[in-house]
Chains A and B, each alone.
Chain A
Amino acid sequence: MGDKKSEVLQGTLDLLVLKTLHSMGPLHGFGIARRIEQLSEDVLQLNEGTVYTSLLRLQQQGWIASAWGTSENNRKARYYSITRLGKKQLEVETENWERFAGVVGRVLSQEGQG
């Protein structure tokens, strides 16, 4: 694969999935994978199966819920949606991420001493 792609950081996939469901409304696994692919502009390399691992984790935490519906080509598909608890968690996680990113950014941008 191309050298521009990078592995998804451990734990960040959950945040991405949560955010995707928050902004896009109910989606099935395939839809979530497409949306992340599209937004990351192919920078993130994603084994699409791992989306499901993340979905199960989020579901067990009670942050997302799932229901059966019909997909675009008229087949049975499971749709996931964010819960109230999930939205709250998303706020917390976003804030955490921004703080973390800010710190890393500051550290990386300091001038060399010699």
Chain B
Amino acid sequence: MGRLRVFSERMKGLFAQSRANREFEDELEEHLQLLTDRFVSQGLSPREAASAARRQFGNGALLQQRQREARTFLFLSSLWRDVCFGARMLRKHRGSTVAVVLALALGIGMNACIFTFVNALLLRPLAGFKAPGEMREVWEHSRNANGIHSFMPLTYPDYVFFRDHARSFSGILGYDGDPEGIIWNRSGHGEVLHGQLVSGNAFSVAGVGVAIGRSFTPADDQPNNPQPLVILRNNFWKQKLGGDPGILGKAMMLNGTNYTIIGVAQPGFTGFQVAMAPDFWTTLSMEEQLIHDPGRLTSRNTNWLLTEGRLAAGQSTKSAQAEISLLAREIELAHPDTNKAMDDVLYSFAPVPGPFRGYVTAFTGMLMVVFALVLVIACANAASLLMVKASGRAREMAVRSALGAGRGRLIRQMTVETLLLALIAGCAAVLLSYWTSHLLLNLIPTSLPISIELPLDWRVLVFTFLVALITGVVFGVTPALRGTRVDPAGVIKTEAHSGGYRKSRLRTVIMIGEIAVCALLLFSATLCVRSLLNAGSIDPGFDTQNIAVATLDAGSLGYSDAKIETFYRELDRHIRALPGVVSSSYVNHLPLDASREQTSVIDESLVATLPHGIPVDVFRVEPGYFKTMGISIVGGRDFVQSELDRKSKVIVVNTAMAARLWPGQNPIGKLVKVGDAKEQSEVIGVVKAGNYRSLGEDPIPVLFRVEMPSLRVLVVHTSKDPGALLDAVQRQVQIVDPNMAATQVQTIGSFMSLPMFAARTTGLLLGASGILALVLTWIGLFGVISFAVSERTREIGVRMALGAGRGDVMRLIMRQGLYVTSVGLVIGIGAALASARLLSALLYGIRPDDPATVVIVSAGMAAVAVLACHIPARRAVRVNPVVALRYE
């Protein structure tokens, strides 16, 4: 209490200091006067009285000093003076201030930008959850697999078992991890919404409330008595339904079923996982009606539920994990066929699902390292600029020290100045990171139904200013120590530049380090950019120019098979009639998409060598698919419509499958068993292998068959710009059936942005880092060489007076810069080659030690160095020996 009062009094004392000092001086003056008067009245002479008074009073000056210290925090008050003075100095040296702030802001800002993503994806709890720290994710894990593939969502029966038996959780919620495109029939017109199936307890376990109406209860979610109820996302309700509170109890026709709206979720709640913001939620038991995939609620093979449980009071991750493991063991014993070697693993709750966090961490971690290196360059730059400035201020420091400022005091002054710089840079960095992170967000393909919020919250701010602070210390400490080591007498007496060789040697070392780091970054960046160019020219095995695609699911409206078929035939007829359309067809999913169908094929004549056959990827296509996609048929023929109608047992294989099963033979007419089918299928055609799972992969055996599911991707080949066709495609869908709507209507080019997303983003960011590093290094080199020239003006003058030619002087200056550059380059390229293996996973068609890249980087940096040294060298040549010497 008392201490707090003293503290606040002292804080108050920070202000109005000069007035308090003046008043105290008056008070002492008065006291001394009264004492003196008293001694005079006792008979002393005025002079004796005054000195007796001073004796009795004690040391007045010391008292004043003590009083000043006690009245406030002297450290703080002089700190404030340092800050004011520092700000004045920064204003005075405007040029170097701007250069340093810019360099640091770029360096810090890019790190903050990456951190913004780390924060949004890994650190920030999901909006709307109550006590997110109590939530744990439950993942099925296979002991027989490794890495990301060993983790799976839960099946419905497993989820129910955990939900009903795990005592260490007060509740476990589950939801369908895939966003489902749902057709909303709004007064005769189809509109695509995103819906999510959630367990009846989802809202109550998450602690998410409703703005109006009510949320689900477990009673709403009974598989034997499914209730068509929906809860709307708050923003969807506001934007699409005008925030009408009368909406409760009204019906929505979704995928052919009428649903009753029972509530609107609380504002700010976007969903149970990051980036996905469904427009509405309904219960898991409505699965069959909503997404028409019967059997999911009983299947022990379909892993589709993501789960989040709330720990019961007094439970820890460890105790909960122990219980979950026991329960998983119980399931495994009861269902050895499906749950063999399955255990279940708990993850703490974060926006990105548990098993994927490692990847996000690795990816963002790599980017952090890259931009930390950029920051190192920025720091080196700032440090050398400050050292240049410090030598310019040697005289000021000498005067201050001669007037009694201790070295510590001078260091403090310099440190305050650099921290001030770092602080300004930090503020600029916050703006920069906000801007760049939102720019980066635009890189996410529009075809992905994801939205990431990038809030500028306290974590980002703390991170940014912490980095700024560390940066300030790192780049500020050397110049501060160097700049304050002054010999006042020497400096003031001779006016000569202090330091000389030793100081410039340190600058050289910093510069070499800077160039080395720059070369490292530039090397990685060039590799990535070149690989990106390569990736653009990778032939995925199909046309990536003149195709428009659209996803359709006629089955979602609950149509009969015959009606579905009629719809697709009719649409095909309409599409072909559009101007510019060359051909069109359907496929169940596009190559390089996330979906995949796998099976095994057995050639019974090869049982001896391949008893289990070979695994293949399956695509289901309609006649004309190969022509439309520009896939060349190298043998045999395409399917015909009659085979589609009769669901004939005929297949087309790719060259990779043919080479695997029948090397050197003609595959046409061969018979194979596909999957667990009883009948044999006949190979009628062979097509050229392309990429199916990822770009640049080794050819995978693939077979194509007819027998289409109700969900199909329409592919349209056009002789014109496919982008101009998209609206027409969507219009034709509505003309053929007003209740239908196509999703993901896009050009093949925009579809391809998804498989290339990671490579593109990395390439772009690394490219940016490389350019940034190059620009910073150029500035740094330019600054250091310029300063060296100005420092050597006299020497150059003497040389020229003694007969050195312009060429000699030019060589002298250039040699200094190029020496620094070449040493830095050798170190940097060496480090790059040593670390390039880390990048190899991201590179397409280029070796991590690509010699051409070494040449490009070296040549580029040499050119930059020449450019940076040339201007100061020209200035040196123009030195007039007479002026330079007279200046002495």
Closest residue of chain A to B8, judged by CB?
A60
- Chain B, residues 18-38, CB within 8 Å of chain A (1/0): the string is 000001101110110111010
Tell me if B27 and A56 are in contact (CB < 8 A). no
Tell me if A49 and B58 are in contact (CB < 8 A). yes
Q: How far, in Å, is B523 (CB) from chain A's closest CB? A: 62
A4 interface residue per 8 A CB criterion: no
Tell me if B67 and A71 are in contact (CB < 8 A). no
Tell me if A78 and B57 are in contact (CB < 8 A). no
A38 interface residue per 8 A CB criterion: no
Tell me if A53 and B23 are in contact (CB < 8 A). no
Q: Which residues of A contact B37 (CB under 8 A)?
A: 73
Q: How far, in Å, is B13 (CB) from chain A's closest CB? A: 8
Task: Please measure, in the bound complex, the distance between the C-alpha atom of A90 and the C-alpha atom of B640, giving whole angstroms.
Answer: 108
Q: How far, in Å, is B667 (CB) from chain A's closest CB? A: 97
A76 interface residue per 8 A CB criterion: yes
Contact of B26 among A33, A57, A76 (CB under 8 A): A76
A40 interface residue per 8 A CB criterion: no
A77 interface residue per 8 A CB criterion: yes
Task: Please measure, in the bound complex, the distance between the C-alpha atom of A30 and the C-alpha atom of B37, giving whole angstroms.
Answer: 12
A26 interface residue per 8 A CB criterion: no
Tell me if A52 and B63 are in contact (CB < 8 A). yes
B646 interface residue per 8 A CB criterion: no
Q: Which residues of B contact A53 (CB under 8 A)?
A: 63, 66-67, 70
Q: How far, in Å, is A80 (CB) from chain B's closest CB? A: 11
Tell me if A56 and B30 are in contact (CB < 8 A). no
Known: A50-B58, A78-B27. A30 touches B35 (CB 8 A): yes
Tell me if A75 and B33 are in contact (CB < 8 A). yes
A47 interface residue per 8 A CB criterion: yes
A62 interface residue per 8 A CB criterion: yes
Q: Which residues of A contact B57 (CB under 8 A)?
A: 47-49
B9 interface residue per 8 A CB criterion: yes
Instruction: Give residues 38-69 of B contacting A (CB, 8 Å).
Output: 56-60, 63, 66-67
Tell me if B5 and A52 are in contact (CB < 8 A). no
Tell me if B6 and A60 are in contact (CB < 8 A). yes
A12 interface residue per 8 A CB criterion: no
Tell me if B27 and A62 are in contact (CB < 8 A). no
A61 interface residue per 8 A CB criterion: yes
Task: Please measure, in the bound complex, the distance between the C-alpha atom of A50 and the C-alpha atom of B27, giving whole angstroms.
Answer: 13
Q: Which residues of A contact B851 (CB under 8 A)?
A: none
Contact of A30 among B2, B5, B23, B31 (CB under 8 A): B31
Q: Which residues of A contact B24 (CB under 8 A)?
A: 52
Q: Which residues of B contact A52 (CB under 8 A)?
A: 24, 27-28, 63, 67
B10 interface residue per 8 A CB criterion: yes
B717 interface residue per 8 A CB criterion: no
- Chain A, residues 63-93, CB within 8 Å of chain B (1/0): the string is 0000000010101111000000000000000
Task: Please measure, in the bound complex, the distance between the C-alpha atom of A29 and the C-alpha atom of B60, giving whole angstroms.
Answer: 14
Task: Please measure, in the bound complex, the distance between the C-alpha atom of A45 and the C-alpha atom of B304, giving whole angstroms.
Answer: 89
Task: Please measure, in the bound complex, the distance between the C-alpha atom of A76 and the C-alpha atom of B58, giving whole angstroms.
Answer: 22
Q: How far, in Å, is B31 (CB) from chain A's closest CB? A: 5
Residue total for B at the interface (Cβ-Cβ under 8 A): 26
Q: Which residues of A contact B59 (CB under 8 A)?
A: 49
Task: Please measure, in the bound complex, the distance between the C-alpha atom of A53 and the C-alpha atom of B63, giving whole angstroms.
Answer: 8
Q: Which residues of B contact A59 (CB under 8 A)?
A: 9
Q: How far, in Å, is B641 (CB) from chain A's closest CB? A: 97
Tell me if B34 and A78 are in contact (CB < 8 A). no
Task: Please measure, in the bound complex, the distance between the C-alpha atom of A24 and the C-alpha atom of B580, giving whole angstroms.
Answer: 108
Contact of A61 among B2, B31, B58, B71 (CB under 8 A): B2
Closest residue of chain A to B34, judged by CB?
A30
Instruction: Give residues 33-59 of A contacting B (CB, 8 Å).
Output: 33, 47-50, 52-53, 56-57, 59
Closest residue of chain B to A33, judged by CB?
B31
Tell me if A73 and B67 are in contact (CB < 8 A). no
Tell me if B71 and A56 are in contact (CB < 8 A). yes
Task: Please measure, in the bound complex, the distance between the C-alpha atom of A52 and the C-alpha atom of B29, giving whole angstroms.
Answer: 13
Q: Which residues of A contact B27 (CB under 8 A)?
A: 28-29, 52, 77-78
Closest residue of chain A to B2, judged by CB?
A61
Q: Which residues of B contact A71 (CB under 8 A)?
A: 30, 34
Task: Please measure, in the bound complex, the distance between the C-alpha atom of A47 and the C-alpha atom of B63, giving whole angstroms.
Answer: 11
Closest residue of chain A to B66, judged by CB?
A53
Closest residue of chain B to A89, judged by CB?
B2
Known: A56-B71, A61-B2, A78-B23. A49 touches B33 (CB 8 A): no
Task: Please measure, in the bound complex, the distance between the C-alpha atom of A102 and the C-alpha atom of B67, giving whole angstroms.
Answer: 34
Tell me if A75 and B30 are in contact (CB < 8 A). yes
Known: A48-B57, A49-B59. A30 touches B67 (CB 8 A): no
Task: Please measure, in the bound complex, the distance between the C-alpha atom of A71 and the C-alpha atom of B31, giving whole angstroms.
Answer: 10
Known: A30-B30, A71-B34. A49 touches B10 (CB 8 A): no
Tell me if B58 and A60 are in contact (CB < 8 A). no
Task: Please measure, in the bound complex, the distance between the C-alpha atom of A47 and the C-alpha atom of B56, giving whole angstroms.
Answer: 6
Task: Please measure, in the bound complex, the distance between the C-alpha atom of A56 and the C-alpha atom of B23, giving whole angstroms.
Answer: 13
Task: Please measure, in the bound complex, the distance between the C-alpha atom of A59 and the C-alpha atom of B67, giving whole angstroms.
Answer: 12
- Chain B, residues 507-549, CB within 8 Å of chain A (1/0): the string is 0000000000000000000000000000000000000000000
Q: How far, in Å, is A76 (CB) from chain B's closest CB? A: 7
Q: How far, in Å, is A78 (CB) from chain B's closest CB? A: 5
Task: Please measure, in the bound complex, the distance between the C-alpha atom of A33 and the C-alpha atom of B30, giving whole angstroms.
Answer: 13
Q: How far, in Å, is B24 (CB) from chain A's closest CB? A: 8
Instruction: Give residues 1-19 of B contacting A (CB, 8 Å).
Output: 2, 5-6, 9-10
Tell me if B67 and A48 are in contact (CB < 8 A). no
Closest residue of chain A to B3, judged by CB?
A61
Q: Which residues of B contact A29 (CB under 8 A)?
A: 27, 31
Q: Which residues of B contact A50 (CB under 8 A)?
A: 58, 63
Q: How far, in Å, is B108 (CB) from chain A's closest CB? A: 41
Q: Which residues of A contact B66 (CB under 8 A)?
A: 53
Q: Which residues of A contact B9 (CB under 8 A)?
A: 59-60, 62
Closest residue of chain B to A71, judged by CB?
B30
Tell me if B60 and A48 are in contact (CB < 8 A). no
Q: Which residues of B contact A62 (CB under 8 A)?
A: 2, 5, 9
Q: Which residues of B contact A77 (CB under 8 A)?
A: 27, 30
Tell me if A49 and B5 are in contact (CB < 8 A). no
Known: A53-B66, A60-B9, A62-B5. A48 touches B56 (CB 8 A): yes
Task: Please measure, in the bound complex, the distance between the C-alpha atom of A47 and the C-alpha atom of B60, giving whole angstroms.
Answer: 10
Task: Please measure, in the bound complex, the distance between the C-alpha atom of A29 and the C-alpha atom of B63, giving whole angstroms.
Answer: 14
Q: Which of A29, A60, A73 has the largest number of chain B CB atoms within 10 A?
A: A60
Q: How far, in Å, is A89 (CB) from chain B's closest CB? A: 9
Contact of A49 among B6, B26, B63 (CB under 8 A): B63
Q: How far, in Å, is A33 (CB) from chain B's closest CB? A: 8
Q: How far, in Å, is A17 (CB) from chain B's closest CB? A: 14
Task: Please measure, in the bound complex, the distance between the C-alpha atom of A34 and the C-alpha atom of B58, giving whole angstroms.
Answer: 15
Task: Please measure, in the bound complex, the distance between the C-alpha atom of A77 and the C-alpha atom of B27, giving whole angstroms.
Answer: 6
**A interface vs B, CB < 8 Å?**
28-30, 33, 47-50, 52-53, 56-57, 59-62, 71, 73, 75-78
Question: Beyond the given A49-B28, A49-B58, could you list 14 further A-B residue pairs with CB under 8 A, ordered by the A residue number?
Answer: A28-B27, A28-B30, A29-B31, A50-B63, A52-B67, A53-B63, A53-B67, A60-B9, A61-B2, A62-B2, A75-B33, A76-B26, A76-B30, A78-B27
- Listed from nearest, the 7 A-B pairs whose CB atoms lie closest are A47-B58, A49-B58, A49-B63, A60-B9, A30-B34, A60-B6, A48-B57
Q: Could you list some 9 contacts between A and B, CB below 8 A?
A: A49-B58, A49-B59, A52-B24, A53-B63, A56-B67, A56-B71, A61-B2, A75-B30, A78-B23
